[in-house]
Amino acid sequence: MFDFLTPSMIDLLVQATQATLFMVAVAGVIGTLIGLPLGVFLATSRAGELFAAPWLNHALGLLVNAARSTPFIILVVAIIPFTRLIAGTSIGTNAAIVPLTVAAAPFIARLIEAAIREVDQGLVEAARAMGASPLQIVWKVLLPEALPAITLALTLAVVSLIGYSAMVGAVGGGGLGDLGIRFGYQRFMPEVMATVVIVLILLVQAVQSIGDLLARRLDKRSRRG
């Protein structure tokens, strides 16, 4: 049943898994560095809010929505010139990080925005009444209170990136998706495709479990309970 798992195939599977983890990790970090401040700004820049700039909020919201509504596989192809500009090539693991990051940043921004908006506005008003500046309110009230929700949001983003990383295999992006396409589909080896799917499921399950655990530990309400 597992005759296809020769030493060379196991080596390819390990390398593909490492490439997938690398792509997801780098895209996740860069996407968070872009999406976190963007999400905070979207959550605090409507009329009457901490950084009130309704016109900029609306413009950024449209841009984020446009990026999120573009199917990922189309996004990968559409930004090939940009990918070549950044990575020097449009194929391979390093090149795949570019569209993964472009897809992750607006997704994370909306998730962060939703997490921030869940914070009790009474806490914000109380901080304002005590003379806290907008930045102090963000750092000392909004982000700490929203941390469990932000953790779950980033967990969801990483899970989505694992799925996206498999898609870039269809266009030579490397990783598990590329292994599944080249061997499972093009060489008619369904057992390889099944193995790739199992590894992806295990990765998703591991990420989700770790994220859920961290969120529970960061949740002040659960600690009080």
**pLDDT for position 220:** 67
Does any domain span residue 4? no
Whether residue 76 is contained in a domain is answered as yes
Is the pLDDT at 208 greater than 70? The verdict is: yes
Q: Which residues of 27-44 are buried (b: 16+ CB within 10 A; e: fewer)?
A: bbebbbebbbebbbbbbb
Residue 148 has pLDDT above 60, yes or no: yes
Asked if residue 225 is part of any domain, the answer here is no
Structural domain includes residue 30: yes
151-186 pLDDT, tens digit each: 999 999 999 999 999 888 877 778 888 888 887 777
98 assigned to some structural domain: yes
Query: Distance (Å, rounded) from C-alpha 224 to C-alpha 207?
Result: 26
- Per the domain annotation, does 3 fall within a domain? no
Q: How confident is the model at residue 224 (pLDDT cuts 50, 70, 90)?
A: very low
Name the one residue in this structure whose structure tokens are 């999406």: 35
Cα 173 from Cα 211, distance rounded (Å): 26
Q: Give me the number of domains the chain comprises.
A: 1
Q: In this structure, is residue 198 part of a structural domain?
A: yes
Model pTM score: 0.90
**Assigned domain for 63 exists:** yes
CATH classification of the domain holding 108:
1.10.3720.10
Structural domain containing residue 29: 13-219
Model pLDDT for residues 63-108, shown as the tens digit of each residue? 999 988 889 989 998 999 999 999 988 888 899 999 999 999 999 9
What pLDDT is attached to residue 1? 46
Percent of the chain at pLDDT > 70 equals 95
Tokens found for residue 122? 């009474």
Distance, in Å, from the CA atom of 148 to the CA atom of 4, rounded to the nearest integer, reads: 43
In whole angstroms, give the CA distance from residue 155 to residue 157. Answer: 5
Confidence at residue 221, expressed as pLDDT on a 0 to 100 scale:
56
